Amino acid sequence: MDFFAQQDIARRNSRLLVVGFLLSVALLVMLTNIVVVAFLFWGDRGQDSHFFDYFNWSRFGHIGLAITTTIAMVVLFKWIALSGGGKSVAEGMGGARVLPQTRDTAERRCLNIVDEIALAANMPVPAVYVLNRERGINAFAAGITPADAIVAVTRGAIENLERDELQGVIAHEFSHILNGDMRLNIRLAAMLKGITFVRDTGEFLMHSGRNRVRSGNRGNENALPLLGLALWLLGWLGGLAAGGLKSAISRQREFLADASAVQYTRDNVGIANALKVIGGYVPGTLVHAARAGEMSHIFFGQIEHSLWHLFPTHPPLDERIRRLQPDWDGGFIERKPRHYRAEPSRPGTGEVGVGRAALVAAAAASAFESQLQTSAPDADFPDTVDAGDVSAGVTATTLPISIVQYTREPLGAQAIIVSLLISDREAVYREQLEIVGQAGVKGLEELACTVHPSIQALGAPNRLPLLELCLPSLRSMSARQYREFKQLLLTLIRTDRETALHEWCLYQLLRHYLDPEFVRVRPSRPRYRSLEKVRYHLRVALSVLAYAGRGDPEAAFRLGADALLLKELAIQPQEETSVASFSRAVHELADCYPLLKPRVLKAMARVAQADGSLNYEEREIIASLAAVMDCPQPTALKTD
């Protein structure tokens, strides 16, 4: 099943969630009114009256309005609290950010696996967090969009799973990022909080009533506990209904994510064995973090024992395993908890985790890992890593290990990005270096001068892989450093009084994937329900991409226009396709409704591959388009 089919399932689940939530609120309003009528009837039980004589439509409306307003406010506040991105969710559960320069070998291995899956999923590398206090084997992905997504794993997972098993678990979480589950998960958590708030209020009133009795204030000693008990029961019933909905949605998505993990890793053994290990591992998938309960549906496995839940959020382990391996003999893998010893890594050694060029990590991991543990400190290591030998999906190129090492530190990553934007014209080059020196970042000018010749020698095909290599380290900057760095990049781009297309693409990618780390980003506002409303902007974007190819621009443009059913759309003259017009067009396309965006990107992919291949400039354009439009890139893109 491809990404866009998964998106359709996610959208259906989202609609089901909204309908189920509204039904749960309606049920809560009805039950509350029944309880109120019962209280009134019970209070006048000595009179000759019937139960329904105490029903009043006006009271029903006021109670319904009060409950709906309260729940809506709680949902809104919870949504705002969770909308800070995956970072806020992970840190709220006690997660610690794994830095690119970590010396912990288990964390380093996890980073490399995330790099590899990011390549397979055709997306930039997300930040990685570890829940160090959790012995259970579990993981989750969180965030509103792929730009602010994170992957979090428990300490038990990175210490007790073999490499292929951990790879399967992380690939499972990447599926949740790419098929839109993260936004659905956040909505689900916010809505459930609104319903369970009634139960929490009832519990508070019960405790408050008992405290009044202890303090000698017995005026309302019966009213408060009874009211609290009624609200608690109502909230429990409403939460039960919502929990059933959560279970139905979550269980189906887990099967889909398991299947997607096989697609990304091209192996069903890793994730199947991970599930078998969980079945034979005493701590299982249990997680004890304070806020884990309300986010139980985002985890890889059940975080609490199934005995405590009428509606489990995850399918049984044996059912998940049999879908992956129908001939499974029913046996689990028994594994005692063990710990990886954190060892300091030496410069020039260790596994190389590198985002888009990440199967560099796969090659380097197998070649270097044994040497890391057995070689002497002065052992010789390769000077380069050949990404072209690893995977046809990576631009054939050789990345020097020295450059890869620079990407692991914030200052080195900044120097590489600066070098990507420095001109090869002598006059502009000198002016830009002076600007870098005046930026006030100690050592940046010297380091940029050092790496610039190597970056220039690597050439344009390496711009995108190098940018993505640098993203994890750049996330380690402070908010002030990031603002100053982004302003420096804008100044460098404007030095020659013109903006090249590759400069625009690199800046947009950097801004899109780093802004959510430092500032609250407002997502694009859907305004265009049909492609007819963005005909002109589609014409500009398709034209720019068609001229970037090596084949016939007219024929390439026609493929994209026909895919969008815009038969009369004509290619724009090349002299009218400026970077400024392209930028405006892309930002307008970002305001299309979500269902339209995958169609647009599919059409762009057809234009780019009209000549049978995908060059580096076309890849940069599509990557920046997908970033600005906040929609993952099509996965079936073939490179030269």
What residues are annotated to the active site? 173
Instruction: Kindly report the number of other CB atoms within 10 A of residue 334's CB atom.
Output: 11
Rounded-to-integer distance, Cα 187 and Cα 524, Å: 18
Q: Can you say whether residue 334 is alpha, beta or left, with left for phi > 0 and alpha for psi between -120 and 50 degrees?
A: beta
Residues 6+ apart with CB under 8 A from 551: 610, 611
Q: Following CA atoms 514, 398, 427, 407 in sequence, which dihedral angle do they give, to the nearest 10 degrees?
A: 30
Bridge-based pairing of strands 384-386 and 139-142 is unpaired
The candidate with the shortest Cα–Cα distance to 604, out of 588, 592, 620, 584, is 620
* Residues in a beta bridge with 142: 150
* Residues in a beta bridge with 528: 592
Bridge-based pairing of strands 398-400 and 384-386 is antiparallel
* Residues in a beta bridge with 151: 128, 141
Rounded-to-integer distance, Cα 86 and Cα 562, Å: 38
**Residue bearing tokens 């407002």:** 522
Residues 6+ apart with CB under 8 A from 48: none
Cα–Cα separations (whole angstroms), residue 368 to 142, 169, 349: 32, 23, 7
Rounded-to-integer distance, Cα 149 and Cα 96, Å: 15
- One DSSP character per residue, 427-461 reads HHHHHHHHHHHHT--TTHHHHHHHHHHHHHHH-GG
Q: Following CA atoms 414, 151, 465, 588 in sequence, which dihedral angle do they give, to the nearest 10 degrees?
A: -90
Cα–Cα separations (whole angstroms), residue 221 to 213, 227, 263, 283, 607: 6, 11, 61, 43, 74
The candidate with the shortest Cα–Cα distance to 582, out of 538, 616, 535, is 538
Rounded-to-integer distance, Cα 412 and Cα 392, Å: 28
According to DSSP, residue 524 is labeled: P
Rounded-to-integer distance, Cα 469 and Cα 414, Å: 11
Three-state DSSP at 326 gives coil
Cα–Cα separations (whole angstroms), residue 392 to 30, 395, 613, 637: 60, 7, 12, 11
According to DSSP, residue 381 is labeled: -
